[in-house]
Amino acid sequence: MKKQIFAILTALLLAIGIAPGAFAGVVSNSVAVPMNLSVPESISLSLSTNSVTLTSAAQSANITLTAGWQIQGGHTSATIYSFFSQAPVAGSTSIAFSQFSTQYNSGATVVCNQPAFTASIGVAGQNCGTFSFPNISTTLNSSQAVTLTLTAAPSTFSGIVGNYTGGVLNVVFQIV
């Protein structure tokens, strides 16, 4: 009985034009899909710490800055800037910006009372120096660690007592 039903169904399918296996191997035409890729330029700066405490026993602290970039060609400079936007204060007494200095990668010491940067970054009289990356026009995708040393002059601790808080050292990375 089952063989008869199968034979009848097969005959009906053949009669209406559907052969066994007719669904296998049918392929459409190939359609091309245009694709574009857009990767914007980006730069980043991260610091090894989010605060620094200086004392008469530890008058300096190292901060590791990691600058990263993915840029197009044509840029001519990459610079890290450091400047104070706020002095440390205890009550109504603040510590002068000129009592602090910075060094990048153990280079020259720069007192934090420098005039305005040529870029519109920082605050005149509160600027602490810069670090420039060489060969930025040929290094288009990279990152580099830089050590920034912040130091308080020994005279800073002479004749003062207390906790001076609220000082803010800003660090900015710019590619031009």
User: What was the pLDDT predicted at 115?
Assistant: 95
Domains of the chain: 42-175 (2.60.40)
pLDDT per residue over 18-38, tens digit each?
555 555 689 999 999 999 998
pLDDT per residue over 37-76, tens digit each?
988 999 999 999 999 999 999 999 999 999 999 999 889 9
Q: Is the pLDDT of residue 169 over 70?
A: yes
With bands split at pLDDT 50, 70 and 90, how would you rate the model's confidence at 138? confident
Residues 137 and 117: their CA atoms lie apart, in Å, by 22
Residues in CB range of 114: below 8 A, 6 or more apart? 125, 127, 128, 129
Strand locations in the chain (E): 42-47, 60-70, 78-86, 89-90, 93-94, 100-104, 110-111, 127-133, 141-152, 168-175
With bands split at pLDDT 50, 70 and 90, how would you rate the model's confidence at 1? low
pLDDT per residue over 100-114, tens digit each?
999 999 999 999 999
Mean pLDDT of the region 92-98? 94
Q: Is the pLDDT of residue 9 over 70?
A: no
